Amino acid sequence: MRVLRLSAFVMLAALAAGAAFAQAAAPAAKGGPPREMSPEVKADSDAQRALAKATPALPMERVLIKITGAPFPIADISAMTQDKQGNIYLFHRPEDKANTDAVVVVDSHGKFLRSWGKGMFTMPHGIRVDPDGNVWTVDANKSIVVKFTPEGKQLLHIDVGDVPDPSRAFCGATDVTFAKNGHVFLADGYCNARYIEYDAAGKKVRQWGSKGKGNGEFMLPHDVSLNADNSVLYVADRENGRLQWFDLEGKYLGQKHFGGQLFSTVVAPDGMVYVGTRARGPNGTNVDADSVIFKFDPKSGQVVGQLNAFAHQISVGADGTVLPGAVTVRVGGYPKDSILVFRAKK
């Protein structure tokens, strides 16, 4: 069992997530000259970079955890979450999906505990633990949400449906969050740009949202999170580079623009909101050096700190551990079968 502690450094990688990272700017034709970003897109990403430069680093330690004892290689990790016992749940994308479990559970030191989900998922995307300790997964291709016990017994299966183009790798649901009354709020972002509320039995209650840049509109709603008293629903509006928030009936309440792309959001136990952002680079690509997690105070409207890491989907444990699902475990020269987390400095 081995934990490596790393000093902060720039995270560089070539991500192979395909359509998951489709950009607003199209790539240059093969063999042609690089296609520059439009002035509007460049200014938007420059705003994210400026905000990162002006925001102090959070007093957290960057920790690389080596996974030990897993019976198979850990592939690209789409999302991570943590239960109250400190166990970490990984949702990865194995090459041999038919014969490899997609959900992997390790303890806080990386020791393999259990796994499940062999042959169940086409495009693993989101994973969350609800207040009762149950585990929820989201498949972005099938647009299916499944609720499990912590041991992997299936409890509920929600087929979201209305997938416009099933041939696309990413055309379905992305994330879930949980209300006190047992209802579930689902982000159906890749093709439908909407949010859906389900009751505890998986019956649809309502939906809202449409594509656009106006208030209450989305360009790929990618993540969703409820605050503790269930008064505010936060939405990561990815391609608009902003965080929007609503009441539980979908009424628009406000927004905060961060610039670039805003992939992820989560409300931490202390009420602070974390968002995972990423600036665009030349030729419509992303620049990992400009991947920043911001900590946002919704009461003051101020950004109070930042961490340098890419967060495809972000979770915060009960102990304050920040878990940035980074899509790949091999970014920044990290060894295989490792995960990155941030923990409070001792």
Tokens representing 149 are 């016990």
Of residues 168 and 241, the one with the higher pLDDT is 241
335 pLDDT more than 60:
yes
For 97-135, the pLDDT digits (tens) are 999 999 999 999 999 999 999 999 999 999 999 999 999
Q: Are 189 and 207 in contact (CB under 8 A)?
A: no
Determine what percent of the chain is predicted with pLDDT higher than 90.
75
User: How far apart, in whole angstroms, are the C-alpha atoms of residue 145 and residue 243?
Assistant: 23
User: How far apart, in whole angstroms, are the C-alpha atoms of residue 28 and residue 54?
Assistant: 32
For 219-236, the pLDDT digits (tens) are 999 999 999 999 999 999
Residue whose structure tokens are 């081995």? 2
Lowest mean pLDDT, pick from 36-45, 114-123, 245-254, 312-321: 36-45
Q: Give pLDDT, residue 284.
A: 52
Q: What is the 3-state secondary structure (H, E, C) of 263-302?
A: EEEEECCCCCEEEEEEEECHHHCEEEEEEEEEEEECCCCE
pLDDT-derived band at 34 (thresholds 50, 70, 90) equals low
Tokens representing 216 are 């209450």
Cα separation values, 250 from 131, 172, 215, Å: 23, 20, 11
20 pLDDT more than 90:
no
User: How far apart, in whole angstroms, are the C-alpha atoms of residue 163 and residue 181?
Assistant: 28
Q: Give pLDDT, residue 285.
A: 53
Rg of the chain taking only CA atoms, in angstroms: 19
Q: Which is nearest to 81 in space by CA: 335, 338, 328, 314? A: 314
> On the CB side of 238, how many CA atoms lie within 13 Å of its CA?
24
Mean pLDDT, the chain, whole residue set: 87
For 147-163, the pLDDT digits (tens) are 999 999 999 999 998 88
User: How far apart, in whole angstroms, are the C-alpha atoms of residue 302 and residue 296?
Assistant: 6
Model pTM score: 0.88
Lowest mean pLDDT, pick from 107-121, 208-222, 326-340: 326-340
Distance of CA 332 to the CA centre of its chain: 19
pLDDT-derived band at 282 (thresholds 50, 70, 90) equals low
User: How far apart, in whole angstroms, are the C-alpha atoms of residue 198 and residue 178?
Assistant: 10
Q: Give pLDDT, residue 177.
A: 98
Q: Give pLDDT, residue 327.
A: 65
Of residues 337 and 115, the one with the higher pLDDT is 115
Q: Give pLDDT, residue 68.
A: 96
Beta strands in 51-87 (DSSP E): 60-66, 76-82
pLDDT-derived band at 207 (thresholds 50, 70, 90) equals very high
DSSP 170: S
| Parallel, antiparallel or unpaired: strands 286-297 and 135-139 | unpaired
Partners of residue 128 on adjacent β-strands: 136
Q: What domains appear along the chain, each with residue ranges and CATH number? A: 35-59+121-338 (2.120.10.30)
